[in-house]
Amino acid sequence: MWGEPVANNTPYYQEFYWGEAIDKAAVIDTGRTVTVPAGTFTDTVTSHEWNPLEGGGKELVHHARGVGVIQKTDSDDPEGGERLVEYFVPGT
């Protein structure tokens, strides 16, 4: 992910190994408030993530500064997915 993410929907590679892994993402929103079982996070970065080799759906992924991924939902199953339940920040 970019150091200063901007919601411009421009794809970038997360991982690239031709024929094996071509993971891509695009930042689609910033500043959203997202609530998951672990808490409420403000100023998140939201991206679409996909792998063209897997032929299809995109994941909608919410990231929180200093924590990482807090929620993932698949475009084929928006009610399912993963949500952060708890986390620990060292030194706090």
Nearest to 58 by CA among 50, 66, 70: 50
pTM for the full model? 0.87
What's the pLDDT tens digit per position in 28-87?
999 999 999 999 999 999 999 998 888 767 899 999 998 999 999 987 776 778 999 999
The pLDDT of residue 49 is 94
Which is it for strands 21-36 and 59-64: parallel, antiparallel or unpaired? unpaired
Per-position b or e across 42-74, b if 16+ CB within 10 A of its CB: eebbbbbebbeeeeeebbbbbbbeeeeebbebe
63 contacts 44 by C-beta, under 8 angstroms: yes
